[in-house]
Amino acid sequence: MESFGPVTDSRAITVIDHVGTRRVAVVPADDLGAAVADAELILAPIPAFGQRELAIALAPHLTDGQVIYLPPGTFGSYLIMRALRDAGCRADVAIAETGTLPWLCRKQGADAVRITTRASRLPTGVLPTRLQEHALAVIADAFPGAIEPVEDALSAALMNAGPIIHPPLILMNAGPIEHFDRWDIHNEGTQPAIRSVQDALDAERVAIREALGYGGPHFPLADHYNNSNWMYGNLAHDKLVGSGDWHETLDLHEHRYMTEDIGQGLAFLVSVGDWAGVPCPVARGLLSIAGAVTGRDFSAEGRTLHALGLAGTDRVALQDMLREGL
């Protein structure tokens, strides 16, 4: 809690956005049970590699009807449900996930954050789908007008934009990232060759979705770069570049773009492609290059269907689990 000292002391954060600058009251707490007691919605925008620990901590405190929302999830809905059950939690909770964060933002100080833009479209799936109507109603109260239902939690996991946007941007900009003190991968770093790789990678994601029977819209990444009505609405990429907040220092070994978007998200995408029989050479190649950069085997240690215990599950059994839960 030390890093939250200023927020804990003042019980407020400074928010900077298109409206201006203002103080917003918050109620910080280090007692998880007290924090989630009687909560309808538990928003958990933590990195994917922290989801299991969160589930174990939450297990004694959850009650029937609560909704956990992972923005994004990387199929963390299943991982959390499995961890809850393994920890003895039998509460009938819904775990939902979507394709991106509700806000694009960066810290501006110990107790200040600037929101560049907000998500206007959040494709959301629920595990189990039998609780979808209730869960989506609860989430929509927090994000009115933004929630777009998708078929199930796996469909939502395959909407995750981070593993499509960030791997080409950091790996193909590795030279300037390590040479300059600060580098903006979304401005100087987004060049036509990199965009071509992103589009090829995104085509593999869409091919996997279609092979699994998931329908559109697939939220193609090209819509973001064309400033069309993507998850962050119109002109989102221009706002991202214009803010200057992404002109930053990136550690290729430790940054969330590597440890989460590649180590968890890209590893997951490749494993689902293998399971569905869909070739994904671009995703696999980027995953291999990331392993060479970091000295880590993300195919072995990352989030894969094998690591989740689902690699041997057939489609009928998987659909059953997505519908009914564990």
Percent of the chain with pLDDT over 70: 99
Q: What is the CATH number of the domain that holds 39?
A: 3.40.50.720
Count of all residues that appear for the chain in the document = 326
Question: 189 pLDDT exceeds 70?
Answer: yes
Q: Is the predicted pLDDT of residue 288 greater than 90, yes or no?
A: yes
Q: Report whether 49 contacts 43 (CB < 8 A).
A: no
Q: 6: domain range?
A: 2-324
Summarize pLDDT for 289-302 with one digit per residue, the tens. Answer: 999 999 999 999 99
Q: What are the b/e assignments for 202-232, b being 16+ CB within 10 Å?
A: bbbbbbbbeebebeeebbbbebbbeeeebbb
Please report, as a single letter, which amino acid is at residue 21: T
**Number of domains observed in the structure of the chain:** 1
- Given this model, what pLDDT does residue 241 score? 82
pLDDT digits (tens, 9 = 90+) for 202-214: 999 999 999 999 9
pLDDT digits over 157-182, tens only? 999 999 999 999 999 999 999 999 99
Q: Any idea which residue has 């029989």 for tokens?
A: 277
For the chain, give the percent of residues with pLDDT over 90: 89
Peptide bond preceding 128: is omega within 30 degrees of 0, i.e. cis? yes
pLDDT single digits (tens) 106-160: 999 999 999 999 999 999 999 999 999 999 999 999 999 999 999 999 999 999 9
Between CA 176 and CA 265 the distance in angstroms is 24
Mean pLDDT (the chain) is 95
Tell me the per-residue pLDDT of 26-66, one tens digit each, with 9 for 90 and over: 998 889 999 999 999 999 999 999 999 999 999 999 999 99
Residue 196 confidence (pLDDT) above 90? yes
pTM above 0.85, yes or no: yes
Confidence of residue 271 (pLDDT cuts 50, 70, 90): very high
Q: Rounded mean pLDDT of 240-263?
A: 91
Mean pLDDT over residues 172-201, rounded?
96
**Residue 1 pLDDT more than 70?**
no
